Amino acid sequence: MKHDDRVHDVAVPGEEPHAESTFSALATPLIDEALARVDSIHAGASPESLHQLRVALRRLRSLWWAYRPLLDKEENARQRALYRNLADAAGRTRDWDILLELLAGDEDTPRDVPACLREAREQALAMSRKTLIDANIHNALRDALASTSKELNAVPERHALQKFAAKRVRAAERSLRKTLRGASHAKRFDYEALHDVRKAGKKVRYLLEFFGPMLDDGYGHTLAHLKKLQQCFGELNDVIASVALLRDNTGLFVDEQDASAALAYLNERRRHRQREAVRLLRKS
């Protein structure tokens, strides 16, 4: 049973490229990147390797979303859930990394990070590694690629890649515009609305990175704006998530005053990022 949201132009026989045959070429480098990051996490698990693994998995999820109209609805949902769950596993340790980075301050005003929080990060890393090992991620990603490629190659009709790509980019852009309207019309600061804008912006950005070279329109300006939007909203998301994580773990501190001081510092950074995000939203 195919998802019924597709109305795409069927490619003329013999014309290339088409969407179905291009899928594997788009997905394979992303899977290779994700697996390389998994291997590096087992070796050392730097904050950057965890971040890049999560990015690779999110890009895979967006690629499967792009191809959703051509795929079995339930199977596509299962594959996208796999990437989300794996990204969440890596994200639990990455959240601790972000918290530690924020609490460390900057070069001008460095701060001491409590050892108890560093120990908590190592415990989170152990859990992330276990989850990724238990998931047998190498086989899971290779199987996902093989099964989806097989399904696409088995369909009797072929869809012109350029038209398919343009329609999927437009669908993602419509979703982004909708979330932007909702966030900009909010009477008071709405973090969830901004978070939705960030996620919708990521989807558009990833699709433009996948399909941009195949489209006639110049999307360079759009891509640059999306990166700026993502950076600003991402920094806000980081500090809000860090405040929540720290609140949930204040019991790790020996001195209650140290916990209160750390929370006060993060809340001040949150207010600063929030003001920046609101200003950028009004310009969008």
Q: Do 204 and 145 have their domain in common?
A: no
Mean pLDDT of 162-176: 93
More confident: 137 or 185: 137
**pLDDT at position 1:** 34
Looking at the structure, tell me whether residues 42 and 109 fall in a common domain. Answer: yes
Q: How many domains would you assign to the chain? A: 2
Identify whether 2 is part of a domain. Answer: no
Query: Is residue 43 located within the same domain as residue 116?
Result: yes
Domain match, 121 and 252 both: no
| Rounded distance between C-alpha atoms, residue 205 and residue 76, angstroms | 21
Q: Is residue 165 assigned to a domain?
A: yes
Is residue 121 located within the same domain as residue 89? yes
Mean pLDDT throughout 163-183? 92
Q: What are the backbone dihedrals phi and psi of residue 27, each rounded to the nearest 5 degrees, phi first? A: -80, -35
Domain boundary among 125, 159, 193: 159
Question: Residue 105 pairs with which residues in a beta bridge?
Answer: 110
pLDDT digits (tens, 9 = 90+) for 224-234: 888 888 888 88
Together in a domain, 169 and 148: no
Q: 280: pLDDT confidence band, cut at 50, 70 and 90? A: confident
Query: What is residue 8's predicted lDDT score, i.e. its pLDDT?
Result: 42
184 and 151 part of one domain: no
Distance CA 65, CA 140 (A): 18
pLDDT of residue 259: 92
For residue 38, report the phi and psi dihedrals to the nearest 5 degrees.
Answer: -60, -45
What is the span of the domain harbouring residue 58?
16-159
146 and 83, same structural domain? yes
Query: Domain end: 159, 187, 210, which one?
Result: 159
pLDDT at 243: 95
What lies within 8 Å, CB to CB, of 244 at 6+ separation is: none
pLDDT at 27: 96
pTM listed for this prediction: 0.85
Provide the pLDDT for residue 165. Answer: 94
- pLDDT band for 178, please (50, 70, 90 cuts): very high
- Same domain? For 71 and 133 the reply is yes
Q: Name the percent of the chain lying above pLDDT 90.
A: 51
Question: How many whole angstroms separate alpha carbon 218 and alpha carbon 215?
Answer: 8
The pLDDT value recorded for residue 250 is: 92
Q: Is residue 270 part of a domain?
A: yes
The candidate with the shortest Cα–Cα distance to 195, out of 119, 273, 106, is: 273
| Same domain, residue pair 87 and 200 | no
Q: Are residues 39 and 155 in the same domain?
A: yes
Residue 96 has pLDDT above 90, yes or no: yes
Q: Tell me, what's the pLDDT at 108? A: 75
Q: Who's near 37: CB < 8 A, 6+ residues apart?
A: 49, 50, 52, 53, 56
CATH of residue 115's domain is: 1.20.120
Q: 19-23, 183-187, 194-198: lowest mean pLDDT where?
A: 183-187
pLDDT of 102 above 90: yes
For residue 12, the SS3 value is: coil
User: For all residues of the chain together, what is the average pLDDT?
Assistant: 86
Do the domain assignments include residue 269?
yes
Per-residue pLDDT for 15 more than 70? no
- The string of pLDDT tens digits covering residues 234-247 is 899 999 999 999 99
Per-residue model confidence as pLDDT tens digits over 50-80: 788 889 999 999 999 999 999 999 989 999 9
pLDDT in tens, 247-265: 999 999 988 999 999 999 9
3 domain residue, yes or no: no
Out of 119, 135, 159, pick the residue that ends a domain.
159
Amino acid at 151: E
Residue 232 lies in a domain: yes
SS3 string of 86-144?
HHHHHHHHHHHHHHHHHHCECCCCECCCCHHHHHHHHHHHHHHHHHHHHCCHHHHHHHH
Residue 68 within any structural domain of the chain: yes
